[in-house]
């Protein structure tokens, strides 16, 4: 147990925004049941979750294999996305940005556009069933050739008006520097696609500085290793870069030993723009409500902190500006009292 939350308040009914959560890390048991694979809870946890403490990020990434293998057909992708939306809604999420790497779902013979059609079908079904809003972020991968990643950028552009809201660079940060994908993200900027990028998790401040300098993202996935550099913290704040922080995930992969050691509270008190995210809802396993309970216990966070970071998440969401005031009103109303 990362933090004993027995005495912590519950947050399920509070409205939330989640900007950093991976589709292939959030496969639900309900989705498998709908796909004709009735699996018990104990077996599901054994097959689809990672150890509570992994040796490193790669140890964690290997645990995604069974979920990825299950998501290689159009029905699987549609149903998994639909069920993920329902799980988000049950957790009190009112807006989410769900990311995935389309080119990792082609082992069953799907084209990239067929992958997108299936995921957007599930997204629409989930939105209709729950009333929440959500967009898709397509991931380029550090260990893939730049030519393959460029294809993902073009795919995001084609599907931008049909569910896609931005692009990301994900994968093994420590083993694959971002420089190889500079031209890929130059193309994303030319096309006007909002950019986020994983950095400052498995590798330190130098990796984060490289991503900021070469890819010019509006948001950073994780970014917590910035705490190791005063200059980097100052630059992040000056640029108004938003950090998509995933505390339990960082601890699970061994970046930090425990919650008390995690820098999210220090970064919050320094006035950095950040949001609270799960990263993964199955591989962890985790919900935002549980993450909030851990933050409340570890750092004494109350409604003020949670509302402020949800409003920051909404402000930096890759979502139409005209739609944000209504969502913001729901956040303020839901966190009052």
Residue from 224, 186, 184 nearest 205 by CA = 224
Q: Are 136 and 168 in contact (CB under 8 A)?
A: no
Walk across the sheet containing 242-245 and list its strands: 16-22, 93-100, 133-141, 164-170, 195-199, 219-222, 242-245, 274-276
What is the structure's pLDDT at 114? 98
Q: What is the pLDDT of residue 223?
A: 97
| 111 located within any domain | yes
The answer to whether residue 150 sits within a structural domain is: yes
Question: Burial level of 135, CB count in 10 A (0-12/13-18/19+)?
Answer: buried
Distances (CA, A) of 231 to 206, 226, 257: 11, 9, 25
Residue 205 sits in a domain whose CATH number is 3.20.20.140
| pLDDT score, position 7 | 83
Residue 201 known to be catalytic: yes
This prediction's pTM: 0.96
pLDDT at 172: 86
Q: How many domains does the chain have?
A: 1
Question: With a cut of 50, which residues of the chain have pLDDT below it?
Answer: 1
- Expressed as residue numbers, the domain containing 288 is 16-329
335, part of any domain: no
| Catalytic, out of 18, 83, 121, 201 | 201
Task: Confirm whether 336 is domain-assigned.
Answer: no
Rounded Cα distance between 215 and 197, Å, is 8
Q: Is 146 helix (H, G, I), strand (E, B) or coil?
A: helix
Do the domain assignments include residue 208?
yes
Contact assessment for residue 27 and residue 281, using Cβ atoms and an 8 Å cutoff: no
62, β-bridge pairs:
none
Domain membership flag for residue 25: yes
SS3 249: helix
């Amino acid at each position: 147990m990362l933090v004993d939350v027995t005495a912590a308040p519950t947050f399920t009914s509070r409205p939330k925004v989640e900007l950093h959560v991976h589709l292939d890390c959030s496969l639900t048991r309900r989705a498998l049941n709908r796909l004709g694979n009735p699996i018990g809870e104990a077996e599901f946890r054994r097959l689809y979750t990672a150890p509570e403490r992994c040796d490193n990020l790669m140890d964690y990434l290997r645990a995604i294999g069974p979920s990825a293998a299950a998501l290689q057909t159009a029905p699987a992708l549609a149903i998994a996305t639909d069920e993920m939306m329902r799980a988000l809604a049950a957790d009190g999420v009112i807006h989410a940005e769900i990311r995935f790497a389309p080119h990792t779902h082609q082992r069953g013979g799907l084209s990239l556009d067929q992958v997108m059609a299936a995921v957007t079908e599930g997204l629409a079904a989930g939105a209709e069933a729950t009333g929440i809003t959500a967009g898709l972020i397509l991931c380029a991968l550090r260990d893939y050739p730049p030519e393959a990643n460029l294809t993902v950028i073009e795919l995001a552009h084609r599907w931008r008006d049909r569910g896609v809201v931005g692009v990301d660079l994900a994968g093994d940060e420590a083993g694959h520097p971002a420089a190889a994908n500079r031209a890929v993200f130059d193309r994303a900027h030319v096309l006007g696609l909002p950019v986020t990028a994983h950095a400052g998790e498995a590798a330190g401040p130098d990796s984060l500085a490289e991503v900021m300098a070469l890819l010019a993202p509006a948001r950073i996935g994780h970014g917590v290793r910035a705490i190791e550099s005063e200059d980097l913290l100052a630059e992040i704040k000056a640029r108004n870069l938003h950090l998509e922080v995933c505390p339990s995930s960082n601890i699970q992969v061994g970046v930090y030993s425990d919650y008390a050691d995690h820098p999210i509270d220090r970064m919050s008190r320094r006035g950095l723009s950040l949001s609270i995210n799960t990263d993964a809802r199955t591989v962890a396993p985790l919900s935002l409500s549980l993450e909030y309970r851990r933050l409340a216990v570890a750092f004494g966070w109350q409604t003020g902190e949670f509302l402020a970071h949800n409003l920051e998440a909404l402000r930096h969401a890759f979502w139409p500006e005209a739609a944000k005031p209504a969502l913001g009103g729901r956040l303020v109303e839901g966190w009052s009292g």
